[in-house]
Each structure stands twice: as structure tokens, then as C-alpha cells.
Amino acid sequence: MAGKRFPWVLTQSVPWAEGAQYTRGTHDGLPLLSYGCAPRDKLATFRQLRAMGLRPNGQDPVAVLYVRHNASKKTVFASLYLIAKAAPVRPMTPAKWTALAKANLARRICRICGKDPLYPLPTSTRLCWPCFEAEGGLEDLEAA
Ligand SMILES: [Zn+2]
């Protein structure tokens, strides 16, 4: 493959710095950056924000970072957010813990017997194993 896939482009204005900056063009309408050229003190991915105890706070990504994975020959894109606009992660409140526990419990209640078999049920059937077998089980799936 001749030439670079993402050549350097001098971009006139970017949200994270004053004046023109070199980028790798655009991706989905956002400035594209390569590994090592995004300022670590100004831009961060969602997971990097989380590691700092921050959340994007409703802001849209201001840039896209791409990374080449050599083993799989794939290019991975990651949204970058402005650290300056990020807000601290909201702490878990008792109500949030309750809602989470309810949601996780709902994943374990069998639709037929209403019991909790102590494992999350398949989303396709939401049946515990005894009920799934009583309903015809794998024979139905194999016939289909
Ligand atoms: Zn059941």
C-alpha cells in the first residue's frame, strides 16, 4: 500500500488548542489524531476520564484518535473528550444501588416458575433450565 492512509493536515482551529494544529484529517466530521499526537493533558478517552474519576458531562467528543493494531491489521477509533469540560463521576447513591440490584435480579427471575435459579437467565428465553427442558428445550431450537 503506497502512501499514508491518514496524511498530516494543518487544521486551522481545534477545540483543545489555540491556533492551527497538525491532525490526520477528519473522521465523522471530527479532527482525527494519531497515537502520540493528542495532548494528554487536554484530551482523554472515556476510559481515561473514568480512570481520573471524571465523566464527559454531556459534551460531544471533540476529536477521534486512531490506533493501528498490528496483529489483527485493524484500525481502532476512540472518541476524545475535553478534560476541561469533564465533571466528577456522580457517586453511587442508595437509590442507585437499589435500582442496580433490581435490574440484576430481574435478569434471574424465570418467566414460568418465577424462581431465582441464582444465575442470569438467557435473554432469548428467560427460563430456568428445568422450565426450559419442560418446554421442549433444545428440541425446539434444533427443529427450527
Ligand atoms: Zn423456571
Q: What are 56-93's pLDDT values in tens digits?
A: 999 999 999 999 888 988 999 999 999 999 999 999 99
4 lies in some domain = no
Check: pTM over 0.75? Answer yes or no: no
Say how many Å lie between the CA of residue 78 and the centre of ligand 1: 42
If one counts the domains in the chain, the total is 2
If asked whether residues 118 and 83 sit together in one domain, one would say: no
| Residue 1 belongs to some domain of the structure | no
Q: State whether 20 and 78 are in the same domain.
A: yes
Does residue 57 share a domain with residue 123? no
Same domain, 78 and 99: no
Torsion on CA atoms 85, 88, 89, 95, rounded to nearest 10: -120
Domain extent for 25: 9-88
Residue type at position 131 = C
75 & 110 share domain? no
What is the three-state SS of 21-73?
EEECCEECCEEEEECCCCCCCCEECHHHHHHCCEECCCCCCCEEEEEEECCCC
Listed residue (110, 118, 24, 8) closest to 63, CA to CA: 24
Average pLDDT, the chain: 90
| CA 95 to centroid of ligand 1, rounded, Å | 29
CA of 97 to the centre of ligand 1 (A): 26
The pLDDT profile of the chain, 144 residues, written as one tens digit per residue, is 545 788 999 988 899 998 899 999 999 899 999 988 889 999 999 999 999 999 999 999 999 999 988 898 899 999 999 999 999 999 999 999 999 999 999 999 999 999 999 999 999 999 999 999 998 877 766 655
* End-to-end Cα, the chain, rounded Å: 46
Cα(104) to centroid(ligand 1), Å: 17
